[in-house]
Amino acid sequence: MIRTFKADKDSRSAFTLIELLVVIAIIAILAAMLLPALARAKQSAYRITCASNLKQWGLAVNMYAGDNGNKFPDATAATGAFDLAFVPFDFTNNFYPQYLYKSGTGVNRAANNVMYCPSDVYHPAYERIPSYKGNLIGYNYLPGRDAAGGTSCNNYDYANPAFTGNVKAWMISRPKLGGAYRLAPVMADRLQILTATGSWSDDASGQIPMTSMGVHVDSRGVPTGGNFMYEDGHVSWQKFKWKSKVNDPIETIGIGSRGIYTDYFVPVELNGYGPW
C-alpha cells in the first residue's frame, strides 16, 4: 500500500529565517541609498525657501526706502542693531507690520516665517529665552553699520584683508540705496562659527540646546553655501568651502567679523574690493 503525504499548508507559506534576513538586508541597502537623496532634497527645499524669504526682505527694504528718502533702515548700534544679525528695536512696531509681515513672534512664529532661514535652528531657539529683547533675525543685515563695530565681544574685523578698502566702506558708508556701493549685498545667510574653538555649534551658555550656528549644513554641520540679497532684490547663491580652521583660506566666502564669533558674508567677487 502506497501512502501519500499532503504538505502542511502553513509550513509552505512561512518565511525561513534566511529569507527574512535577506529581505531585511535589502531594505537596509535601499534605505541607505535613499536617505542621502532625501536629505539633499530637504536641504534643497530649505535653500529655495530661504532665498524666497530674502527676496521678500528685498521687497520690504525697497518699499521702506521708497517711503523714507531712499534710505536703508538705520542699523547703528544706538538703535539696537549692535551685531550683524541684530536689527533696530523699532522694526517690531514700524518696519515689520508695514513692509514685511503682520504678526507672529516668539513661540507663535511659523517654522517657515520670513524672519528666518528654515534650516536655522539657533536663532529661533534663542528667540524663546526669557531675556530675548526682540531684535534678532536669522540673516546678517549689512548696510549702515557703526564704524566702531558692534559690542565689545563682536567687533567687526576691519583689519582683515577681506574686510578693508571698499568692503569696509559698504558696511559703514552706505546710508542709501543706489549709491557707490549699490552692487554690494544688503543681506546674507548667517554662516557663523565660534572663533576660539572652530565649532559650528553653540549652547548659548546653557540657555538653549546645542544648535547649529550656520544654515544649509552638510553631515558635519558645516554650511555648504549661502544666499546673498542685493539692492535690486535678486538673490544669488555662493558655495562655501571651509577647511579645518577659522583662519584657513576661504575660496568662496570671506571673513567679515571676529570676536567670539566669526561671520562669513563677503562674496568672492568683493574680495577684490569690487565690482563698483
Predicted local confidence at residue 186, as pLDDT:
93
Predicted local confidence at residue 60, as pLDDT:
93
What average pLDDT does this structure show over 132-142? 85
pLDDT band at 165; cut points 50, 70, 90:
low
- Cα distance between residue 89 and residue 81, in whole Å: 8
- Per-residue pLDDT tens digits for 166-217: 677 778 888 899 988 888 899 999 888 887 777 888 876 677 777 888 899 8
- Per-residue pLDDT tens digits for 94-128: 888 888 876 545 555 665 688 888 888 888 888 77
Predicted local confidence at residue 104, as pLDDT:
47
Question: What residues contact residue 109 under an 8 Å CB cut-off, 6+ apart?
Answer: 115, 116, 124, 127
Cell of 85: 544679525
- Cα distance between residue 106 and residue 119, in whole Å: 17
Q: How many residues does the chain have?
A: 276
The answer to whether the peptide bond before residue 275 is cis (omega within 30 degrees of 0) is yes
What average pLDDT does this structure show over 224-248? 83
Instruction: With a cut of 80, say whether residue 239 has pLDDT above it.
Output: yes
- Cα distance between residue 190 and residue 240, in whole Å: 12
Instruction: With a cut of 90, say whether residue 231 has pLDDT above it.
Output: yes
